[in-house]
Structure 1
Amino acid sequence: MKHEEIQASISARLDGEAPLLADDIVAAHLTACPECRDFFQRATALQGALKQPSPTPDLTAQILAQAGPAWRRGPGTRLVIAALARIGLLVHAIFFIIWGVQLLIGSQPDAAVRIAVACALVYGAWRPAILAGLLPFLGSWAMFSTGLEMRNIFLGQANIAALVFLFSSAICAGLAWWFRDYRQDSSWLNANLATT
């Protein structure tokens, strides 16, 4: 009988498969053959080592200790950006009202649009979720106005301040909308940090 057949039978038995040879034949061979007996001992030791997973340390405390300061910094930054964006919306609303009143005094038909946008910006500063509907309007207005002002830019008669104002109002509205959920996020975060 060959050693390879005995060792294949031992491996099959340890793996839970049907052995190639009967158990009594393998047992008789193991008592007489030191090479196969050594193979059997090494295979059973390896199988025992593979079945018992090594204990892994609990890294939760270390991860939370490193992540905690970053979590605590996040809501403060979001609050500052949201507050500045909302203040920016209010400042832009004031300038839109001034712009609209100047156009109204001059009997310009665009006065109502400026005053309506000012009202929308004030409402957006109060309820930033509505800014998702206002952003396409502000962005397209700024881009369309840029296209119309190209001729005046080349002639040196452009109203660059109005374009910068339109783009900055769209940026403020975008930031206020992007950071609109800061209260919910920070309250969730504070509740989770309090439990750790």
Structure 2
Amino acid sequence: MDDRRDDACWPVREAISAQLDGEASGLAETVMVRHLAACPGCRHWQEQAQQVTRRTRLTVAEAIPDVTFAVLTALPDPGPAAARQVRVRLGDLALRLTLLAVGVGQAALAVPSLTTGTGVMSAPTHVAHETGAWGLAVAVSFLAVAAAPRLAAGALPFLAAFTLLLTVLTVSDLTAGMVHVERAAGHLLVLAGVAAVSVLAWQGRSPGSWRPLLAGRSRA
């Protein structure tokens, strides 16, 4: 077959292949018929292509084993992990709501000292203002951790130290009869808040973040 015949045959054979595949041939039907009538090679090619296509369509596909069960069985069970994530999220939500309530309650105790200068204790105005400022600062700390739990680790040293000293002094004052039980009971809010902050700080810790400072220096 010369080059001119080859150039004329390829478009026709591509059009035949497209028709067998159910696609548009892109070539006029009259052009194909005229070429096939004059080209024995393309007629033979068309017959072979039709036979191959018919044989392929009539061939029964081999049965493929169903491996769905085996694949699903091999996958790790997401149940325990998913349940644990749900429990962790619910626990975090409960802690944050606790801190929200503690912060609001602590602010309610602190605001009177700032606004009236007396609050619930009979103290000089400036002392009452200082007490109110400290109480409001603690309330803001609780509310900040409730809004952004990542702040728990940073707020914990201040809150824990304040609560420890407050607890020791309150017990001492109760023993000496220098404070009313109702006033001392208000400090339970702070204890509950510090407990919630401690749990959030522990849950949000990163590996190696709790090592002692001296240990880090010795390795350096």
Give the shorter-chain TM-score range. Answer: 0.5 to 0.7
Q: Does 1:137 align with 2:147?
A: no
TM (norm. structure 2) is 0.48
Partner of 1:150: 171
Contact 2:106 2:190 in 1 (8 A): no
Question: What is the deviation of 1:174?
Answer: 1.9
Structure 2 counterpart of 1:164, one-letter code: L
Structure 2 counterpart of 1:86, one-letter code: R
Structure 1's 78 and 137: CA in aligned 2 closer, same or farther, altered over 3 A?
A: same
Which sections of structure 2, spanning at least 5 residues, go unmatched? 1-69, 119-124, 206-220
Question: What is the deviation of 1:64?
Answer: 2.5
- Give the secondary-structure state (helix, strand or coil) at the position aligned to 1:172: helix
**Structure label with greater radius of gyration:** 2
Question: What is the deviation of 1:154?
Answer: 1.9
Question: What is the deviation of 1:179?
Answer: 4.0
Partner of 2:138: 117
TM (norm. structure 1) is 0.54
How many residue pairs end up in the alignment?
121
- CA offsets per residue over residues 53-94 of structure 1, 9 Å max, x none? xxxxx9x946823xx321111011111111111111111111
Contact 2:100 2:142 in 1 (8 A): yes
Partner of 2:197: 173
Q: Name the stretch that deviates more: 142-151 or 172-181.
A: 172-181
- CA offsets per residue over residues 72-131 of structure 1, 9 Å max, x none? 110111111111111111111111211111222213021112222222222211211111
Structure 1 counterpart of 2:162, one-letter code: W
Q: Does 1:84 align with 2:105?
A: no
Partner of 1:164: 188
Hey, which bits of structure 1, 4+ residues long, moved more than 6 A?
none
Spell out the pairing of 1:1-196 with structure 2 (5 A cutoff): 61=73, 64-65=76-77, 68-104=78-114, 105=116, 106=118, 107=125, 108=128, 109-156=130-177, 157-158=180-181, 159-180=183-204
Tell me the percent identity. Answer: 18
Structure 1's 119 and 150: CA in aligned 2 closer, same or farther, altered over 3 A?
A: closer
Aligned-pair RMSD on alpha carbons?
2.6
Between 1 and 2, higher relative CO (CA 8 Å, sep ≥ 6) is seen in 1
Question: What is the deviation of 1:176?
Answer: 3.1
Structure 1's 160 and 116: CA in aligned 2 closer, same or farther, altered over 3 A?
A: closer
Distance of 1:98 and 1:173 partners within structure 2: 20
Could you say which structure has the higher helix fraction? Answer: 1
Question: What is the deviation of 1:151?
Answer: 2.2
Contact 1:125 1:176 in 2 (8 A): no
Structure 1's 130 and 112: CA in aligned 2 closer, same or farther, altered over 3 A?
A: same
Distance of 1:162 and 1:138 partners within structure 2: 16
Distance of 2:204 and 2:92 partners within structure 1: 7
Contact 2:106 2:189 in 1 (8 A): no
Which sections of structure 1, spanning at least 5 residues, go unmatched? 1-57, 182-196
